[in-house]
Amino acid sequence: MNTLAMSLVIARKELQSLFLSPLAWIVLAVVQFIMAWIFLLQLDAFPEAQSQYAALQRTPPGVGDLIVAPLFSTASIIMLMVVPLLTMRLIAEEKRSGTMALLRAAPVSTAAIVMGKFFAVAVFLLLLCALLVVMPLSLATGTDLDLGRLLASVIGLFLMMMAFASAGLFMSTLTKHAGVAAVATFGLLLLLWLANAAGGADGVMNWLSLLGHYQAMLRGMFATGDVIYYLVLTTAFLAFSVRRLDAERLQR
Partner 1 sequence: MSGDVVVSVENLWRQYGELVAVHGLNFELRRGEVLGFLGPNGAGKSSSMQMLAGSLAPSAGRIRIGGVDLLDEPDRAKASMGYLPEQPPVYPELSVREYLRFCARLNAVPRSAVAAAIDRALQRCGLDDVADRLIGNLSKGYQQRVGIAQAIIHEPAVVILDEPTVGLDPIQIREIRNLIRELGRDHSVILSTHILPEVQMLCSRVLIIHQGRMVFSDSMLSLNAGMTADRLVVGAERLPDETRLARLDGVKRIEMLGDGRARLRHDGATDFASRIAKTAVEEDWALFELTPERKTLEQVFVELTSGESAPREDAA
Please classify residue 197 by burial: count the beta carbons closer than 10 Å to its beta carbon, then call 0-12 exposed, 13-18 middle and 19+ buried. Answer: exposed
CB of 105 to partner 1, least distance (A): 4
78 counts as binding partner 1 under rule CB under 8 A: no
CB of 131 to partner 1, least distance (A): 24
Among 181, 131, 119, 149, which residue's Cα sits nearest to residue 25?
131
CA distances from 12 to 112, 113, 115, 147 (A): 13, 12, 12, 32
**6, 182, 192, 211: which one contacts partner 1 (CB under 8 A)?**
6
CB 76 within 8 A of CB 214: yes
Among 8, 10, 143, which residue's Cα sits nearest to residue 67?
143
Strand, coil or helix: 207: helix
Q: Annotate each residue in 85-124 with x if it binds partner 1 (CB under 8 A) or - if it does not, as one string.
A: ------------xxxxxxxxxxxxx---------------
Our CB check for partner 1 shows the closer of 209 and 241 to be: 241
Q: Annotate each residue in 21-40 with x if it binds partner 1 (CB under 8 A) or - if it does not, as one string.
A: x-------------------
16 counts as binding partner 1 under rule CB under 8 A: yes
1 counts as binding partner 1 under rule CB under 8 A: yes
- Residues 151-170, interacting with partner 1 (CB under 8 A): none
Our CB check for partner 1 shows the closer of 91 and 103 to be: 103
Q: Rounded to an integer, what distance in angstroms lies between the CA atom of residue 129 and that of residue 71?
A: 12
Our CB check for partner 1 shows the closer of 38 and 242 to be: 242
